[in-house]
Chain A
Amino acid sequence: MKYLSEYRDGRVARALVAEIKAAATRRWVLMEVCGGQTHTIVKQGLDEMLGDVIEMVHGPGCPVCVTPLEQIDKALALAARPDVIFTSFGDMLRVPGSDCDLQQIRARGGAVRIVYSPLDALELARKTPDKQVVFFAVGFETTAPANAMAVWRAKELGVDNFSVLVSHVTVPPAMTALLAAPDNRVQGFLAAGHVCTVMGWTEYEPIAAKYKVPIVVTGFEPLDILEGMLLAVRQLEEGRHEVENQYVRSVRRDGNQPAQDLVSRVFELVDRSWRGIGPIPRSGLGLREEFAAFDAEKRFDLAGIHTTEPAECRAGDVLRGVLKPFDCPAFGKACTPEHPLGAPMVSSEGACAAYYNYGRFRSAV
């Protein structure tokens, strides 16, 4: 496929690996904050190829993984209601809540439907006026414009039986929280190319300046990631800490303005709790007051659902980069993709599942 296969060329990859090794005089710690990149890095073994010069730490880059348990429990409560058709992206179905997951609710007769696009959920609501259709609006800035449009259109077209359970998170506050932590080891970032396609990169400039870390906006194919690593390593070696754009074919400095405009008309910044990490101020999006009628948390009585997260899953340490998945006592034993303890083992983009699926049971370095 055009614009995909070119970026998977093995010969070019080997050349880039050699270039990175030639550029590095020491071992640097880089973090990617995108589950898609995590998946590619582990699947292709990019981190192992470069293990002597780069330690890759897999940050909280998977929205599925960081959705708080309490929001999952609210989704489960909604999906179990006989008057509700609960719609979601497919990767949320197996995320464990306190007692079960959405797939089990479906097996017990709950109406749970996977949709490709939030507009499909809206269309379902229009076609089934006798049911309440709830969409699980999760994701980073990449997904926010799509979810904002579904809510905007629901209001515009008067689709009163549609609502959203929102658990949106934004990347820069999480990066800042990681960098501000006393045990931070991360020296440079690969920023997520599609988040920046929507948002641009200006909000990363103060982070790079304040914490003196290079931030390279990076794409998703193996060659994109290797080039992003090369740019980050060159900056570190030269003592620079700038925002650089590797993913030029999609990302512009100011991002996608029409998308940002609709997101800020529908959503506002709110405090959010990240599963495994805890609350981060102004790190999420919630519906503005004008759209409160489409907020599933207000339409249905969910106020009684309060969940505390179990201590046995050490996902938070993995997401903060202080623990490798294979160093968790539960990894591959009490916790597997078939019986996950925490979300990073469920989603194919979670660091634990990536390590498990590609046979990473111990350190290669």
Chain B
Amino acid sequence: MCLGIPGKIVAMHDTQGLPMGVVDFGGVRREVCLAYVADEVKLGDYAIVHVGFAISKVDEAEAQRTFAVLREMSQLDELEWMKELAP
């Protein structure tokens, strides 16, 4: 129910006073209400979209940092495996 999908804002416009936009979800595009993120997003930003509403701008720096930490963890793990497998 609370499913939110990250997508890229590819168009922004105003519909009768309501900030709207088009968001691309890996090739699927859909009209999305941007009213709740209007002050912080620009074209090309990623947003988390829930039932047709952007509810947050994806913090790209944080997204990359989180993933780097996770990635590092798995590489360390692999080093351990390599040590174990070493003759």
Q: What is A's interface to B at a CB cutoff of 8 Å?
A: 1-4, 6-7, 9, 11-12, 14-16, 18-19, 34-36, 62-64, 89, 91, 116-120, 138-140, 142-143, 145-146, 149, 153, 156-157, 192-195, 197-198, 220, 223, 227, 248-252, 256, 258-259, 262, 347, 349
Contacts and interface: CB of A to CB of B under 8 A. Distances in A.
B51 A146 contact: yes
23 contacts: A1-B26, A4-B6, A11-B74, A19-B73, A63-B1, A89-B51, A118-B52, A142-B2, A146-B53, A153-B18, A194-B4, A194-B48, A195-B2, A197-B4, A197-B48, A220-B4, A227-B66, A248-B66, A249-B59, A256-B56, A258-B36, A259-B55, A262-B35
Contacts of B29: none
A353 to B, nearest CB: 13
B25 A146 contact: no
B70 interface: yes
A362 B30 CA distance: 41
Interface string B41-67: 000001010111101101110110111
Given A1-B6, A251-B56, A256-B56, A91 B51 contact: no
Given A3-B58, A34-B2, A223 B70 contact: yes
Interface residues of B, number: 42
B55 A256 contact: yes
Contact of B2 (A12, A35, A262): A35
Contacts of B33: 117, 119, 146, 149
B13 interface: no
B4 A142 contact: yes
A7 B67 contact: yes
Given A117-B33, A223-B70, A250 B48 contact: yes
A2 to B, nearest CB: 7
Given A19-B73, A157-B16, A119 B55 contact: no
Nearest to B32: A117
Nearest to B39: A258
A262 B38 CA distance: 14
Nearest to B63: A249
A199 B68 CA distance: 27
Contacts of B58: 3, 249-250
Contacts of B4: 142, 193-194, 197, 220, 250
Nearest to A249: B63
A194 B62 contact: no
A61 B52 CA distance: 21
B62 to A, nearest CB: 4
A192 B2 CA distance: 9
Interface in B1-33: 1-6, 8, 16-18, 25-26, 30, 33
B63 A3 contact: yes
Given A2-B46, A259-B36, 13 more contacts: A1-B25, A4-B6, A4-B26, A9-B74, A12-B71, A34-B2, A36-B2, A142-B50, A146-B50, A248-B65, A251-B56, A258-B37, A262-B35
B2 A143 contact: yes
B35 to A, nearest CB: 7
Nearest to A13: B74
B85 interface: no
Contacts of A252: 56
A142 B49 CA distance: 10
Contacts of B5: 4
A250 B59 contact: yes
